[in-house]
Amino acid sequence: MNIQTLDVLIVDLPTIRPHQLAMHTIVMQTIILVRVTGEGGLEGWGEVATIGGASYCAETPEAIKMNIEKYIKPLVIGRNAAHFDSISHTVNKHVVGNTFAKASVEAAIVELAAKARGIPVHELFGGQIHASLPVAWTLASGDTRRDIEEAKESLHAKGHNIFKLKIGMGEPKRNVAHVLKIKEAVGDEASVRVDVNQAWDETTAMYCIEALEDGGIDLIEQPLPAWNKEGMARLTTRFKVPIMADESLSSLEEVYQVAKYRAGNVFSIKPANVGGLTATKKVAAIAEAAGISLYGGTMIESSLGTAISSHLYSTIPEMKYGTELFGPLLFTDTVTANAISYEDFRLKVPSGPGYGMEMDVEKIFHYAREY
């Protein structure tokens, strides 16, 4: 099925509470939606989410929209959606970087290809291995008592038994104490992990990770800046607690370097980081060959973006550390008519043609920007 049109929308969705990261506190999350159409008006949708304008990475929502419309769109119009890997190859030859923009366009094309055949997207990536995926929840209020209450409520409701805390903002020792109090409160009922969002230097990381390891924390995500791969390798060698690379993995070449020098022994995989679903499947293959464990990361996408990642993650043999596909639970509203199902600590991968999500166009244009 040939691609006839491509449209890009910037949409801002309100959150149920502030979501605090090292570089930004989210109270309104921005997502970029891409819609492609084929013969007969059949649609494929893609999504990426961004954090804090330009505070997380160089690709702002405005730049993503402009670069898709000016540079990527002319390369895909008229192409057969079934050749999505070939289309991505063409785009990569002519457009440097812009992994978020590429990921959103590829996701839309992939869905159009799947819908044209009447099959779910996971069938295009080798078939589903997992019908559901474990899901972590991020405790990001910054208040210890509130985070403990939130964790215990989630455990009781069988919502989540994996909790991650963002601890890159503020005084490191105080943040470590905050995490250890939460771990003490939930005990062995839950896995507790931390994400530093690149905020520490190596000296700070040494004493903080030692305390976290002694306190039973299960995973340390990106403690050092993405460029400091040698420091990440030293931390990975020194500590028993796994060190997870996230922002360090911004291209297939970087993924290979991180694997080669063991600058982390867990990979957080995200389609937006490496330019799409096909590239993400390659990241998983590199990790498998290197004996590196996987975690299904998130940019805090809406229900569509969450479905996109879940379809791909469901085709990967082992996601040892689960996923973080909690995005839809953080929003007060949704851009789809149907919802992602969460139960018994897991996300159920949506079924049906494409990603299995019915887009709510009225809601999309309600939250879309006019510019």
CATH code assigned at 83: 3.30.390.10
pLDDT at site 19: 65
Q: Are residues 73 and 180 both part of a single domain?
A: no
What tokens does 233 get?
């390798």
Query: Do 131 and 192 sit in the same domain of this protein?
Result: yes
Please indicate, yes or no, whether residues 144 and 229 belong to a single structural domain of this protein.
Answer: yes
Residue 68 domain-assigned (yes or no):
yes
Residues 112 and 179 in one domain: no
Q: How many domains does the chain have?
A: 2
pLDDT at 17: 75
Domain assignment present for residue 353? The answer is no
Q: How confident is the model at residue 57 (pLDDT cuts 50, 70, 90)?
A: confident
Task: Evaluate whether residue 354 is within a structural domain.
Answer: no
In a domain, 328, yes or no: yes
DSSP SS3 for 13: strand
Residues 91, 236 share a domain: no
Q: Is residue 253 part of a domain?
A: yes
Q: Is residue 322 located within the same domain as residue 236?
A: yes
Do 93 and 156 fall within a single domain? no
Say if residue 74 is in the same domain as residue 130: no
Give the CA count within 13 Å in the CB-facing half-sphere of 66. Answer: 6
Task: Kindly report, residue by residue over 146-185, the tens digit of the pLDDT.
Answer: 999 999 999 999 999 999 999 988 999 999 999 999 999 9
Asked if residue 13 belongs to a domain, the reply is: yes
Residues linked to residue 192 through DSSP beta bridges, in sequence order: 163
Which residues form the domain of 232? 124-348
In this predicted structure, what is the pLDDT of residue 313? Answer: 98
Lowest pLDDT segment from 9-23, 24-38, 88-102, 289-303: 9-23
Contact 314, 122 (CB under 8 A): yes
CA distance 94 to 56: 25
Q: Are residues 144 and 268 in the same domain?
A: yes
CATH number at residue 143: 3.20.20.120
288 and 153 both lie in a single domain? yes
Alpha-carbon torsion 84, 87, 93, 98, what sign? negative
d(CA 21, CA 252): 26
- Domain assignment present for residue 102? The answer is yes
* CA–CA distances in Å: residue 188 to residues 131, 182, 191, 255, 294: 26, 11, 7, 33, 22
Terminal Cα distance for the chain, rounded: 31
- Would you please indicate which residues are annotated as catalytic (active-site) residues? 166
Q: Which of 95, 7, 109, 17 is nearest to 300 (CA)?
A: 17
Write down the number of H helices and E strands in the chain.
14, 13
Residues 31, 66, single domain; the answer is: yes
Report how far residue 319's alpha carbon sits from residue 106's, in angstroms, rounded to the nearest whole number. 23
Residue 294 lies in a domain: yes
- What local confidence, expressed as pLDDT, does residue 141 receive? 78
Residues 239 and 319 in one domain: yes
- Radius of gyration of the chain from its Cα atoms, rounded to whole angstroms: 20
What's the predicted TM-score (pTM) here? Answer: 0.95
Checking if the pLDDT of 299 tops 60, the result is yes
- Tell me which H or E stretch contains 287: helix 277-290
Q: Which of 130, 141, 137, 129 is nearest to 345 (CA)?
A: 137
Per the structure block, which two tokens stand in for 168? 């890159």
